[in-house]
């Protein structure tokens, strides 16, 4: 409720003394400032009823609060010809073939076709072994051996609008009967420019089991 205080000035009748000067004017009182109106929300808050728990006050957002970080938008589609991956305007189609190792058994030959579908040019960070980041785990004789990838160099490959490039990499495995290899394949960096370029650690997975025959690699989306 707004409270107003009015400053009233009462007129004073002037009195004249015969043969004398008129008395000095009485100074008017200074106006009194009205108090600031109370906040409407505070004045209109109802008192909690008996037995009722008052609602908690709304907390102000922290000035240091940071926006939620979002990951890349990755879409997976399984087609009759295999897995198709879409990442921010780029389509990736991974393939794999077993190839005989000079040391015996089979290695894995990866091939990924990358196509720009959004009319933009995209950049891939391409170190010494190419744009693919590959972590491998080989299980043999009841033991597992992990082989993390290592980046050497800072080269680049470009995917022009509407164009395609093929990325290839051979992973040593020497698979024989009773052994398996699991690959976690990603990208060292993908973006529209160097500042936008970020790594993708899990683009797809591959698993291949050795046998007495030529093994068959299986490519799937990350779990």
68-96 per-position pLDDT tens digit: 334 578 999 999 999 999 999 999 999 99
What's the average model confidence in pLDDT over 95-103? Answer: 94
Show the domains of the chain with their CATH numbers: 74-218 (2.60.40.1470)
What are 115's two structure tokens? 């196509």
What is the percent of the chain with per-residue pLDDT over 70, rounded to a whole number? 68
Mean pLDDT of 198-223: 94
Q: What does the mean pLDDT of the chain come to?
A: 78
pTM above threshold 0.85? no
pLDDT of 128 > 70? The answer is yes
Task: Give the C-alpha separation, 38 to 168, whole Å.
Answer: 72
d(C-alpha 206, C-alpha 219), whole Å: 4
- Comparison of pLDDT for 5 and 211, the residue scoring more: 211
CB 93 within 8 A of CB 86: no
Which candidate, 117, 191, 126, 196, places its Cα nearest to that of 161?
Answer: 117
């Amino acid at each position: 409720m707004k409270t107003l205080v009015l400053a009233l000035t009462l007129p004073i009748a002037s009195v004249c003394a015969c043969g004398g000067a008129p008395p000095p004017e009485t100074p008017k009182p200074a106006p009194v400032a009205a108090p600031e109106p109370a906040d409407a929300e505070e004045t209109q808050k109802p008192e909690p009823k008996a037995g009722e728990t008052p609602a908690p006050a709304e907390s102000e957002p922290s000035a240091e609060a940071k926006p939620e970080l979002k990951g890349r938008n990755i879409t997976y589609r399984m087609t009759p010809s295999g897995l198709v991956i879409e990442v921010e305007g780029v389509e990736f189609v991974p393939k794999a073939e077993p190839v005989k190792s000079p040391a015996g058994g089979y290695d894995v030959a990866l091939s990924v076709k990358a196509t720009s579908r959004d009319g933009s040019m995209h950049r891939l960070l391409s170190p010494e072994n190419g744009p693919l980041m590959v972590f491998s785990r080989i299980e043999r004789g009841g033991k597992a051996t992990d082989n993390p990838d290592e980046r050497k160099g800072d080269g680049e490959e470009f995917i022009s609008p509407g164009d395609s490039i093929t990325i290839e990499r051979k992973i040593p495995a020497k698979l024989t009967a009773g052994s398996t290899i699991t690959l976690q394949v990603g990208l060292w960096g993908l973006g529209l420019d160097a500042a936008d370029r970020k790594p993708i650690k899990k683009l797809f997975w591959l698993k291949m089991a050795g046998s007495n025959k030529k093994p068959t690699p299986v490519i799937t989306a990350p779990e």
